[in-house]
Structure formats: structure tokens, C-alpha cells
Structure 1
Amino acid sequence: MTQGRSIRLFLVDGTPNGLLTAEIMNWTGHVLTGPRTKLSELVQRPECGRTGIYFLVGPDPENSLRPLVYIGESDDVGTRLKQHNRPEVVSGTGGGKDFWEKVCLVTSKDQNLTKAHVKYLESLLIQNAGQVGRCKLINGTAHDYINLPESDRADMAFFVEQIRTVLPVLGFDFLRETSRPSRVAEAAPAAVPEASPRFILEVPRHGISATGQEIDGEFYVFKGSLARGRWVGTERGYQSLYNQLCEDGVLAENGDGPRVFNEDQSFSSPSAAAAVISGRSANGRTSWKGEGSGMTYGEWQDQQVSAAAAAGGEGEEGRDGAE
């Protein structure tokens, strides 16, 4: 099993929607985040006068599935954020950026991050965000920056891993590594404890068959699975998700028949996946059936919970006996 981690969160003004700091034990990094509406308070913080990395995050009006993200670096983050807060038309320098609603900056508690360090970090993080594919980067392509000693590059690689650990806890998923479902699907389930058995969803009347699997808390539908050729349900629920996947080319047209998944696609739940595949609202707990077993996803999940509860009960009995 993966070892647990402790992250210390602090609500600066005591409210969940205000400024927030985060730290990980034995990591020199310090994270400060908040909404753009709190920028006047954020730039007064001492962290903003340090050298660091920052992320500007906002919604993409053309894609509801992924946010817009800008990754930058500065030896005076506060000054740079003030520049980005200027209206683009007024600034005339390209410094203003109107899309963002949240900001997150990462500095060092020991203030040992140099300009060279953060330029290297920026390059790594832009590359990682592009590879993960959970956001649309405003930066464009990353510039390779390798002007660091080998030991410093190793330290910055560790620094990046800590950033990728703490940001999802703060609600920023764009650096969270995407699992590789197709490879997991080929492995024995016992060899991948984070993955469920494979499940099948079939709608024979419309020639639909899809394969899915729960991996690390997300439900994936595998490349090559089929989905309804058009949305036929009510204009609510997952219709916007279905339309977005069609626009993105994830659900590709296949003549007059069902659409086909061009790549592995993650969903927030089995029901979201089942709805997109069926073209209408669907209960994923009953629609997905275990490959070979016929057990529904809901039955499998209940079985897992019961087994865990039984194992916990046996542990309690053992402790009672030892006393």
C-alpha cells in the first residue's frame, strides 16, 4: 500500500473561500492560494515578495471539462500578479490576463529557490501539464531549461512531485497524473490493487458495447468502446458532457452507427460514463456488469465494503483477545 502523507492547511482569514496556505512535512515548499477577488490581500503576504512559481486558473468558455491554466515564474511573484491583473486591452503589454479566477503560488520556506530554479520548475511543470492533458495551457509550448547542476535538477524533480501531491488537495487537478487504463486492463486485477475488475455495458438494440474499469477513484471507459450516436435523453444531466466529448473528438462519428471512443476517457462516476454511452440518463451501479461474473458494479462495490467491514471486525476481535 502507498504510504500516507500529512498536509497542513491553514485558513488565513478563517473562511473556506478566502486565502489558504498548505505545507507538507519535511518539504521546504510553501503554497498560498486564493480567489482573484482576494488578490489585494494576497499580494500583501510576505510569500509574494519571494521567488516562486505561480498558477493562474480559470474556466474555459469553449470547454467545460478542462480549465484554462497559465504557469509562470518570478523573483517577485506579487509584482507579476499585479501585472496579470491589469485589463489586457488597457495594459497593451500582454501582461494582463482576464481569464483567471484563482491563483496559486509556490515558494520556499527557506527562501533557497533561485531564479534559475524557478525557470527550471516552470519548464518541468508546463511539460507535465501538457502531458497530463487535464487543462488547456495558455503558455503554449515549454522552453527547455537545463542550466542547472545535476544535484539541483534532482532537488527540483522532488519539488515538482510535492507540488503535484498538494495541488489536487486544494482543488487543482491539472497536474494530477492520469492513469493508463489500457495497460491496467491487460494486467491481472490482483496485480493492480487500485483497479477494479473490468465491467461491460451493453445496449444490444443499438449495437452498443463498452468496457470500463475503476482506477484510482475514477471510472474509465476504454478506447474502442461504443456509445449512442446522439443524445436522446432530456436536455439536462450529462448532455453537455456528451456534447463536449463529441466536440473534442473523443466520441468520433462512425458512419450512421454508434460513436466510438478514440481514447481512454475518465469519468467522475460509473453513472456519468453510462449516461454518455447510452445517450440518456442511466444508473451506472446497475448498468455496468462484471466481465465474466455478471455482477453489477453496485453489487461488486457492496461486496468490497462488506469484506472490508468483516476484516475490520476480525482485527477488533484479535485486539480484544490480546487484551
Structure 2
Amino acid sequence: MTQGRSIRLFLVDGTPNGLLTAEIMNWTGHVLTGPRTKLTELVQRPECGRTGIYFLVGPDLEGSPRPQVYIGESDDVGTRLKQHNRPEDKGGKDFWEKVCLVTSKDQNLTKAHVKYLESLLIQSASELGRCKLVNGTAHEYINLPESDRADMAFYLEQIRTVLPVLGLDFLRQRQSPLTQSKEQPAQQAPTTTFELNISKYKIAAWAQEVDGEFIVLAGSKARERWASSTDYASYKPLYQQLTEEGVLVADEAGGVSFTRDHAFSSPSAAAAVVSGRPANGRTAWVEKITRKTYGEWQDQQVNAALS
């Protein structure tokens, strides 16, 4: 059973949209984040004079629902952030709207540590595919003792834990479904499989809910194109993104299939991509055995928990 964790958040200037610090119990790391509009105040903080890792985050200007992210390291983060704040034609970066930096409370992070950690973070973000990396490919950095590499692996896991709490999801691990078969789920697996069928277009899709994400399983079918003129809730860009990334690929039957499991933020987002148009996931998905809609199934789970 997963244990709970304590994360301490502090609103530096007392407002939810200002500077924010975060710490995890028994971890020497210290996280500071804030909007670019607060950069003047942020660079005056003592954390910015330390060695650390930083993330620059902003929207994708091409319309993708994924954010753009730059991951960097420095032994003087404040100076590096001032450089990134310059106009693009003067060596800066224009895309970012939010910054997050990770330093150490005991100041034991060295230049070698953060270069190795930067390499791990870039590799992880690239593999997860939750953001559009401005960095490009990661540079492998292995000039670190084995014990220090183990410490940085632990650091990475703490960063993975705290960043989603701050609204930065690009390092959050993708959860795997608890069954691999769509036709005969393993009897011992404590999970529920949902189906979405559109016989007119020969669409059949399967999904599972795992750790708050709605995962459409590999092999599921989807509409061969976005068929609605409505871009409701950005689902048309999401459909286009999944096509460009090779998650949705044309199959031999003339339709489109999911080449791998893909996690969506909600049943409605998943239903929209599968259907090729806006859809209410609470009614579109039905539980495989009882044939209850997702909404009915969830209501049953809530009532059972309260009874």
C-alpha cells in the first residue's frame, strides 16, 4: 500500500499567484517557483545564488496542449535566469511564463551533481512525452561516483513527487493498466475495464482508470479524422498531437488504432479523441461487465464508500 507524504507549501508573498516554496519531509531539496512576472523578486531570493536545477515552462505557440519546457542547471541560478529573460535575439528565451528551481537546503549539491541530474531529467521528460522539450536530446553525463548517482536518483524521485503538486505535470510517471488483455482481463486484477463502441464507424475502444488517469489501451480503434467543426476543450489539437506522435496510426482496415496505451486527463478527453468529436465520457464509456455507464459506475463507487 502506498504511504502518504507530507509536502510543506509556503506562499512567499501571501498570494496564490506569487512566489511559492515547497519542501518534502526528510528531503534536503528546496523548490521555489513563480510566474515570470515575479522574476525581479525571485532572483533576489537566496536560493537563486545556489547551485541547482531549473525549469522554464510556457505554452506551445503552435497550439499543442503540451507545454514547452526548458531544463537547465547552474551553479548560480539567478544569473542564468537573468540571461534567459533577455529578448530572443539577444540570447534569451521568449516562450516561458513560469519558472521553477530546485536547490538544496544544506547546499551540498555540486556542479557535477546538477549536471548529472539535468541529464536524467531531460531523458525522463523526453521519454514521458508530456511536454515539448526545448533542450532537444539529453547529453549523457556519467562522471559521478556510484553513491552520488544513487543520491541523484533519489533526488529525481522527489522532484517527480513535488512538481505535479505545483501544477507541473511533465515529469509525472505514466501509469500502466493493470491488465493487458482487453477481451479477457485477468481475474485477479483489481481494476475495471470500460468500453466505447460506435458500430457505424466500426470503432471499439477499451480503457482503464489508474491513479486518476483514464488510460485508453493499445489496439483500441478511433475515428479516422476529427469530424467536428468544434474545437471544444482543445480536443481537436489533442487528436492532431496524438496523430503526429504516432499514438494514432492508420491501420490495414482503413481506420485508426492506438499503437500504445495512452493516458488522458478525463473520460471525456478520451471519448472525444476516440469519437473524433466532442463527447461526454461519463455516458460514452460503459463498464464491460455490468454495462453501467462510467457515470453510473462512479456513482456506485462513491455510494459504496459512504455506506
Same fold flag (TM > 0.5): yes
Written as runs of structure 1 = structure 2, the 5 A alignment for 1:275-286 is 275-286=272-283
Please list the CA deviations of residues 180-224 of structure 1 after superposition, one character each: whole Å capped at 9, or x if unmatched.
23x643463754x5xx41111101112111111111111111122
- Per the alignment, residue 319 of structure 1 pairs with none
Q: Tell me the SS of whatever aligns to 1:65.
A: coil
What are the within-5 Å matches in structure 2 for residues 120-135 of structure 1? 120-135=116-131
Q: 1:228 & 1:172 partners in 2: Cα distance?
A: 31
* Matches of 2:218 and 2:253, distance apart in 1: 19
Gaps (5+ residues) in structure 2? none
Find the counterpart in structure 2 of residue 229 from structure 1.
224
- 1:23 is displaced (CA, Å) by 0.4
Pick from 190, 204, 221 the counterpart of residue 199 of structure 2: 204
Residues 70-109 of structure 1: pairs in structure 2 closer than 5 A: 70-91=70-91, 96-109=92-105
Distance 1:60 1:236, change over 3 A: closer
Amino acid corresponding to residue 46 of structure 1 in structure 2: P
CA distance, structure 1, for counterparts of residue 162 and residue 151 of structure 2? 17
Hey, what does 2:14 align to over in structure 1?
14
Q: Does the alignment pair 1:270 with 2:274?
A: no
2:59 paired residue number: 59
Q: In terms of Rg, which structure is larger?
A: 1
- Where structure 1 has 5 or more consecutive residues not aligned to the other structure, the ranges are 311-323
CA distance in 1, matches of 2:180, 2:61: 34
The equivalent of 1:217 in structure 2 is 212
Aligned-partner residue type, residue 173 of structure 1:
D
Partner of 1:144: 140
1:149 offset after TM fit, Å? 1.9
User: How many residues are matched?
Assistant: 302
2:9 is aligned with what amino acid? Answer: L
Q: Does 1:173 align with 2:155?
A: no
Q: 2:66 is paired with a residue of what secondary structure?
A: strand
Matched residue, 2:180: 185
Q: Contact 1:185–1:198 at 8 Å: present in 2 too?
A: no
2:125–2:171 CA contact under 8 A, matched in 1: yes
Which of 108, 122, 126 aligns to 1:112? It is 108
- Distance in 2 between the 1:258 and 1:104 partners? 42
Confirm or deny: 8 A CA contact 2:230 2:277 kept in the other structure: no
SS of structure 2 residue aligned to 1:64 = coil
Distance, in Å, in 1 between the alignment partners of 2:140 and 2:129 is 19
For residues 28 and 118 of structure 1, the distance between their equivalents in structure 2, rounded to whole angstroms, comes to: 14
Amino acid across the alignment from 1:214? E
**Is the 1:189–1:197 Cα contact (8 Å) retained in structure 2?**
no
1: CA distance between counterparts of 2:247 and 2:133?
19
**Partner of 1:130: helix, strand, or coil?**
helix
Instruction: Name the TM-score, length of structure 2 as normaliser.
Output: 0.92
Letter in 2 for 1:188: A
Taking only aligned residues, the RMSD between alpha carbons, in angstroms, comes to: 1.9
Range with bigger deviation, 249-258 or 15-24: 249-258
- In 1: Cα distance, 2:69 partner to 2:187 partner: 35
Check conservation: 2:63, 2:237, Cα contact below 8 A.
no
Task: Identify if the C-alpha distance between structure 1 residues 261 and 16 changes in structure 2 by more than 3 Å, giving closer, same or farther.
Answer: same
- Cα distance change, pair 308–172 in 1 and its aligned pair in 2 (3 A): same
2:60 alignment partner AA: D
Match of 1:293 among 278, 290, 293: 290
Listed one character per residue, the Cα deviations across residues 57-95 of structure 1 (whole Å, up to 9, x for unaligned) are 11112252211111111110000111111112124xxxx
> By percentage of residues, which structure has more helix?
1
